A = this chain, B = another copy of it.
Amino acid sequence: MVQYAKTRLDASFAALSDATRRGVLEQLGHADASITDLAEKFRMTLTGMKKHVGVLEQAGLVITEKVGRVRTCKLGLRRLEDEAAWIERYRQLWTARFDELDKVIEELKRKEKADGRKKRE
């Protein structure tokens, strides 16, 4: 792949692209949890869950701290503001684009009507 620096947005959208990880985020939105807690809740091995947490941590969406034998996971400081902003901007673009197409269609209809000719099908 020869893949170089992933941007923040790359990393967080990738982190969000997995149902387990989205579930973990929601879970941590209710209460902090250990790796064991999460692994049980999502029915997978500790090792597997630790990888998911690692991905979320890399994306800055989760922070963890180990005290004694227990690593506690909690929500990170990022509120997905950049991600929300990107999507919002896109939605505006989308709307503008479709409005534009609507106008073109209106224009076509107007012309056709003015035209008099009936060209069915």
Name A's B-contacting residues (CB within 8 A).
Answer: 7, 9-11, 13-14, 16-19, 22, 25-26, 28-30, 75, 79-81, 83-84, 86-88, 90-91, 93-98
Pick from B75, B87, B97: contact of A29, CB below 8 A: B97
Structural contact, A18 and B10, CB atoms closer than 8 A: yes
Which B residues are CB-close (under 8 A) to A18?
Answer: 10
Chain B contacts of A19 at CB under 8 A? 7, 9-10
Check A91 against B80 for contact (C-beta < 8 Å). yes
Give the CA-CA distance A87 to B86 in the complex, in Å: 11
Query: In whole angstroms, how far apart are the Cα atoms of A11 and B7 in the complex?
Result: 19
With most chain B CB atoms within 10 A of its CB, the pick from A80, A94, A97 is A94
Whether A75 and B97, one on each chain, are in contact in the complex, defined by CB atoms closer than 8 angstroms, is: yes
From known contacts A10-B17, A13-B13, A13-B17, infer whether A91 and B84 are also in contact, taking CB-CB under 8 Å.
Answer: yes
Residues of B near A91 (CB, < 8 A) are 79-81, 84
Q: A9-B17, A81-B91, A84-B88 are in contact. List 7 more A-B contacts (CB 8 A).
A: A10-B18, A13-B17, A22-B86, A29-B97, A30-B97, A79-B95, A80-B87
